[in-house]
Structure 1
Amino acid sequence: MNRLLFTNLRRYSTTVVCNPIPATFLRGGTSKGIFIKRSDLPDDRSQWDHIFRGIMGSPDKEYGRQLNGMGGGVSSLSKICVVGPPSDAHASVDVEYTFVQVGIRDSDIDYSGNCGNLSSMIGVFALDEGICALPKLFAGSTATVRSFNTNTGKHINTTFPVTAGENGYTPVLELDQASIAGVPGRASQITLDFVSPGGARTGKLLPTGNAVDEVQVETGDKSLPIRMSLVDATNPTVFVFSADLHHILALPETSPIDFASPPVLKMLEFIRQQGAKLMCLDPSAQAQPKIAILRPPLPSDPDVDVFVHALSMGVLHKAVPMTVGLCLGVAADVKGTLPWQIVQHSRASRGGGGVKLVKIRHPSGIVDVGAEFEENGEVKNAKVVRTGRRLMEGVVWW
């Protein structure tokens, strides 16, 4: 993109931080975020946190709406991506990026995980900004941009339509190719490919070595067990059965769970923290691991494999965080895990053998996720289709 209007901003040395900072506002999947070139931020990363809080309007302790910034009061709208050319250590990729999850009511800045939805727009932003002038991988009218995510140390490829022009290749996002649950309308298809996603944070697909673990939960005067599958693919996730949660909460299985209820949220946070401890992760870091509650699909959903409610930063996600959806798709092919148990039962009940994609129902609709495994059981890749849109380009005050 032509940014001559902001040339004067870039003349500052990195010891003088521009305010405002050149930035682009993009939708990727079911998230929106601020994308910033790494060269427009100070070299001293200790200065980043303060800048990011100002950009998003955090902390907003009293109202939680982030009205003083670009955030929207929910985790899927309080995100930043810092994008730059690859370092020498990752010369095999086209671009390198760091994902930032910004706290809403608190001052937390979390670099521990990645965002699958915003990852789908890294290649688009890199081409637009000239960070990646000419991807090496083309197939007809599409290009594949290879990126390295510094949070997880993983390679992620995005493939999307492009058009050639005098100044190189431009991503085309307005084609009538794909739709995704939670976003109105149709747009160009962006294929998101997480390469070797297993062990993104812990180094192991199953951090404890077990398909299912069990922890005790204190409820009233009783201590009850709850089963969980701890899986680390794209981002670590704690999976639990809805039926087990109903039992602990003393709810009939047919009763809906009020995920906005403080006692329910407190219980889920306790369970998530116990899973984090077993995964040797910081239990106080709300961004990682996520927690997802699974149940079998309803009879009215004959083609769906599993229904999921996922929480992000202590709040029920209106769709499903894409890294949770990808992790669920991988876990569904890992024998013995809770996702595997539900998906196997769903497919057996409808005679659906040999199916490659996992069809996941979430509160906003359905998403199909695919995963490929090596012969030794390692995850080769996990794929999902997303769409995206350019929303605004200019400068952002912090």
Structure 2
Amino acid sequence: MFASAGNRANAMLSAASFRKLLFSRSFSSSSRTSETLNPLPATFLRGGTSKGIFINRDHLPSDRSAWDRIFLGIMGSPDPVHGRQLNGMGGGVSSLSKICVVGTPSLAQQSQGIQVEYTFVQVGIRDTSIDYSGNCGNLSSIIGAYALDEGICCDPTTTLDGSRITIRSFNTNTQKIIDTTFPVSNALVPVLDLPETSIAGVPGDASQIVMDFVNPGGARTGKLLPTDHPIDSLTSPNVSVSLVDATNPTVFIRADELSSFLPLSDYLKHIPTEVPQVLESIRQRGAVKMGLDPLAQAQPKIAILSAPNTSDDHAQSVDIVVHALSMGVLHKAVPMTVGLCLGVAANIPGTIAWDIVSESRQNRQSGDSKLVRIRHPSGTVDVGAELSPDGHVKSAKVVRTGRRLMKGVVWW
């Protein structure tokens, strides 16, 4: 039986009443433990080549064991048959199945100049996996802007020249500090739509966001080179890898070595082959050597490296070419934490990245540059790394852009 129009009207809140009910609620510590709104206030943002849901930490339960169910519902996971996450905000690929929980830093963190704290969440697509082990470099680029927009950024008054601001954030996953510098208005509102720069994989120009990962070495393992070696040997299959932990731990392997026993060229053209199982085996063996859980798909990443070989590579002074995987899927753009890790690895003598970059620059007779130009499937990106004479990584930098997409509520 259908309800009358009058009954339906009485049963529904007006849009204005709904917004008032939703956003006027008090989220004290006590209320957080007893209830979580559904729908939940949220913002949908692009950061670099990823998109994600951003949530104020105060709007979630204080008991983190209750988070997983909420995040799976938001993203529409699990979707074991179709893998499209049509019941949620996910997009069927790992770069679109991400959440950032952002909040005010502790008093101890504030005393260190940290202005915002965040936790990155990688949500499984076909299964119920929720991974907190790593960080997302792309979404990290928009944390400062979100914190300013939401009024949860501590002491946001310091600007560089009146038109740009640097926000210092703390990532709980890796226990690392990331500074982001971006344009603001006179009222300290982030300005993200200036035609300043473009990045590969994203159409159009936008405001430049400079990311600086402070002391990024040992993000997960505590050591830049977890095995103390720039090259390690794995068995079954027998391959050489570089295991580097900067911003996120990554297993680097040469494409020409893989091509000796795998149909790699077909795989990199997205022609279905049996390559993924072999790469996952290599990734898991690398994880064991790094002291990480081999069954955690999000960490470490695995990246296939090769020398620049096309006329366009040479014309653009490309130093190295990378194809990266995340959550078992070949990416159309390099995950930025992998790109940053690669930039650091290229500055460590003896690694696979160091060898390829050195040979590339020698062949084109170019001098050493502080920036490493990386070619990935969507274009190029320049990554900078600063190392001290003793090999300590002081910082790793990259330019990103971001955009506000939607602000409102999300059902879970």
Taking structure 2 as the reference length, the TM-score comes to 0.91
Q: Does 2:130 match 1:109?
A: yes
Q: CA deviation at 1:56?
A: 0.2
Query: Which stretch shifts more, 311-320 or 135-144?
Result: 135-144
Change in CA separation of 1:236 and 1:259 when aligned onto 2, cut-off 3 Å: farther
Q: Which position in structure 1 is the counterpart of 2:228? A: 209
Distance 1:213 1:63, change over 3 A: same
In the alignment, the residues of structure 1 paired with residue 20 and residue 205 of structure 2 have an alpha-carbon distance, to the nearest angstrom, of 32
Report the equivalent of 1:8. 24
> Is 1:297 aligned to 2:319, yes or no?
no
Please point out which of 40, 43, 55 is paired with 1:36. 55
Residue 181 (structure 2) pairs with residue 159 (structure 1): yes
Deviates more, 1:133-142 or 1:293-302: 133-142
SS state at 2:189 partner: strand
1:226 aligns with 2:256: no
- CA, structure 1 residues 347+69, in 2 after alignment: closer, same or farther (shift >3 Å)? same
2:103 is matched by which residue type in structure 1?
G
User: For 1:379-398, what aligned pairs fall within 5 Å after superposition?
Assistant: 379-398=393-412
Q: 1:248 aligns with which of 261, 285, 299?
A: 261
- 1:17 deviates by 1.1
In structure 1, distance between residues paired with 2:265 and 2:48: 32
Stretch of structure 1 that moved more, 318-327 or 368-377 = 368-377
Q: Which residue of 1 aligns with 2:147?
A: 126
The residue correspondences of 1:1-398 to structure 2 (distance < 5 A) are 6-10=22-26, 13-14=31-32, 15-91=34-110, 92=112, 93-132=114-153, 134-140=155-161, 141-165=163-187, 169-218=188-237, 225-249=238-262, 251=263, 257=268, 261-300=272-311, 301-302=313-314, 303-398=317-412
Distance 1:256 1:50 in 2: 35
More displaced stretch, 155-164 vs 347-356: 347-356
More helix by share: 2
> Which structure would you say has the larger Rg?
2
Distance in 2 between residues matched to 1:264 and 1:257, nearest whole Å: 10
- What is the distance in 1 between the residues matched to 2:24 and 2:349? 57
1:179–1:187 contact (8 Å) kept in structure 2: yes
Paired residue for 2:15?
Answer: none
Give the Cα separation in 2 of the matches to 1:144 and 1:79.
Answer: 24
Structure 1 stretches of 4+ moved >6 Å: 253-256
1:163-210 CA deviation, whole Å, 9 max, x = no partner? 123xxx100001010100000000000001100000000000000000
- TM-superposed CA distance for 1:138, in Å, is 1.2
Aligned partners of 1:10 and 1:40 also within 8 Å: no
Structure 2: unaligned runs, 5 residues or longer? 1-18
| Structure 2: distance between partners of 1:363 and 1:312 | 14
Question: Quick check: 2:27–2:58 contact (8 Å CA) kept in 1?
Answer: no
Tell me, yes or no, if the aligned pair for 1:115 and 1:322 is still in contact at 8 Å: yes
- The answer as to whether partners of 2:247 and 2:337 remain within 8 angstroms in 1 is yes
What letter matches 1:379 in structure 2?
V
Comparing both structures, which one devotes a greater share of its residues to strand?
1
Distance 1:7 1:295 in 2: 51
Distance 1:10 1:105, change over 3 A: farther
Q: 1:38 to 1:339 in 2, by over 3 A?
A: same
Q: TM-score, normalised by structure 1?
A: 0.94
For 2:294 and 2:158, the matched residues in 1 are separated by: 40
Given that residues 347 and 354 in structure 2 are in contact (C-alpha distance below 8 angstroms), is that contact kept between their aligned partners in structure 1?
Answer: yes
SS in 1 for 2:236: strand
**Contact between 1:260 and 1:315, CA under 8 Å: does it hold in 2?**
no
Letter in structure 2 aligned against 1:110: D
Paired residue secondary structure (1:171): coil
Work out whether residues 259 and 265 of structure 1, in 8 Å CA contact, stay in contact via their aligned partners in 2: no
Give, in angstroms, the shift of residue 248 of structure 1: 2.4
Cα offset, 1:254, TM superposition: 7.0
Residue type of the partner of 1:373? L
Greater CA deviation, 76-85 or 259-268? 259-268
Query: Deviation at 1:259?
Result: 5.1
RMSD: 1.5
Structure 1 contact 9–21 (Cα < 8 Å) conserved: no
Tell me which residue corresponds to 1:221.
none
Work out the CA distance in 1 between the residues paired with 2:42 and 2:219: 28
Identity of aligned residues (%): 65
Checking the alignment, whether the CA contact within 8 Å between 2:266 and 2:273 is kept in structure 1 is no
Q: Following the alignment from structure 1 to structure 2, what is the Cα–Cα distance between the partners of residues 183 and 315?
A: 19
